[in-house]
Amino acid sequence: MRRFPHENIGPVDQWLRLSVGFVLLVLAGTGIIGSWGYIGVLPMLTAMVRYCPLYHVFGVHTGRPPRRHGS
């Protein structure tokens, strides 16, 4: 599987995002919480591509150190 060129989400962060997103979607789908729960799609999407734009803006990286080319 091809990885996103600038991934900044580590494995623990990835599973947390998938879990939280899934729970939000289930709760919204069953009517336990309002339709705002469908925002759970966002953490699931960022987990699948292992890239978070907000992490990029703030310089956060929860995975392995980024690879440097030529070193």
pLDDT at 66: 59
Mean pLDDT of the residues in the chain = 88
Q: At what angle do helices 41-49 and 11-29 cross, to 10 degrees?
A: 150
**Per-residue confidence of the chain (71 residues) as pLDDT tens digits?**
555 568 899 999 999 999 999 999 999 999 999 999 999 999 999 999 999 999 988 988 998 775 666 65
> In which residue are the tokens 């440097």 written?
68
Q: What is the pTM (predicted TM-score) of this model?
A: 0.79
Phi-psi domain of 48 (left: phi exceeds 0; alpha: psi -120 through 50; beta: other):
alpha
pLDDT at 64: 75
SS3 state at 58: helix
